């Protein structure tokens, strides 16, 4: 099973995934937890992540999209496909939908172009389930504003974040069978409860 998490920066994704990791460990599930860009299992991926996220780097939008796609291809080859072949559950923090949204809408490349690039690199490998932590733009901005900008995406302007917000809504509608949407404006405990409910049902545990 291939499960991905998506959400705006500030959606609470990182802490929910951390809690999910402890839950799956307790349940004795055979799983791999990874992320994009820059899987912790691949030093080459970490190098691509550095290029993509360093604040001082300037990348044309299509170059950015291709670097995310290059990382995704390597990630599939080295980590995701081998783990799935060993019947492991793969949990991935961000995947193809982040590119459709951030590059397609955020960077204005257009979703069609980004989708074509990504269908080539993934050979059509979509997740079985995608959990979208849906935080309002207002709350997302509030949560991000309280932190110091750490990477190239956190220094983007409000319009970029608005396009990402609208982009996620469109992408969720494009794949209604795969997406489960959770209201991430609620308290973290409630968000986590909903995540667990979905995961338990999906993994039949
Ligand atoms: P990261 O520090 O991992 O942020 P987060 O904790 O929010 O996931 O940085 C990842 C950033 O890269 C995030 O702002 C979204 C962006 N991104 C894209 O623009 N396109 C992509 O395909 C992926 C995977 C991530």
Query: Would you kindly state where each structural domain of the chain is located, as residue ranges?
Result: 2-203
3-state secondary structure of 31: strand
Contact call for residues 186 and 139 (beta carbons, < 8 A): no
Digit-by-digit pLDDT tens for the chain (205 residues) are 999 999 999 999 999 999 999 999 999 999 999 999 999 999 999 999 999 999 999 999 999 999 999 999 999 999 999 999 999 999 999 999 999 999 999 999 999 999 999 999 999 999 999 999 999 999 999 988 878 878 999 888 899 999 999 999 999 999 999 999 999 999 999 999 999 999 999 999 9
What is the per-residue pLDDT for 169?
Answer: 98
Which of 98, 107, 167 should be mutated for ligand 1, with most atoms under 8 A from CB?
A: 98
Q: Tell the residue nearest (CA) to atom 24 of ligand 1.
A: 36
For domain 2-203, the CATH superfamily is: P-loop containing nucleotide triphosphate hydrolases (3.40.50.300)
Sign of torsion over alpha carbons 155, 158, 164, 169: positive
CA gap 10, 184 in Å, rounded: 10
Contact call for residues 109 and 58 (beta carbons, < 8 A): no
């Amino acid at each position: 099973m291939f499960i991905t998490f998506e959400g705006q920066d500030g959606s609470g994704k990182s802490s929910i995934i951390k809690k999910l990791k402890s839950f799956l460990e307790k349940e004795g599930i055979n799983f791999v937890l990874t992320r994009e860009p820059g899987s912790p299992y691949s030093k080459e991926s970490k190098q691509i992540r550095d290029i993509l996220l360093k604040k001082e780097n300037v990348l044309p939008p299509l170059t950015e999209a291709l670097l995310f796609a290059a990382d995704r291809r390597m990630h599939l080859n080295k980590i995701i496909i081998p783990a799935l072949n060993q019947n492991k559950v793969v949990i991935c923090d961000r995947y193809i939908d982040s590119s459709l949204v951030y590059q397609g809408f955020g960077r204005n490349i257009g979703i069609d172009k980004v989708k074509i690039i990504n269908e080539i690199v993934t050979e059509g490998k979509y997740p079985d389930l995608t959990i979208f932590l849906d935080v309002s733009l207002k709350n997302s901005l509030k949560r991000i504003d309280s932190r110091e900008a750490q990477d190239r995406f956190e220094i983007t302007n409000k319009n970029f974040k608005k396009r990402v917000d609208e982009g996620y809504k469109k992408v969720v509608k494009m794949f209604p069978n795969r997406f489960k949407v959770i209201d991430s404006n609620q308290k973290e405990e409630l968000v986590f409860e909903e995540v667990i409910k979905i995961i338990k049902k999906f993994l039949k545990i």
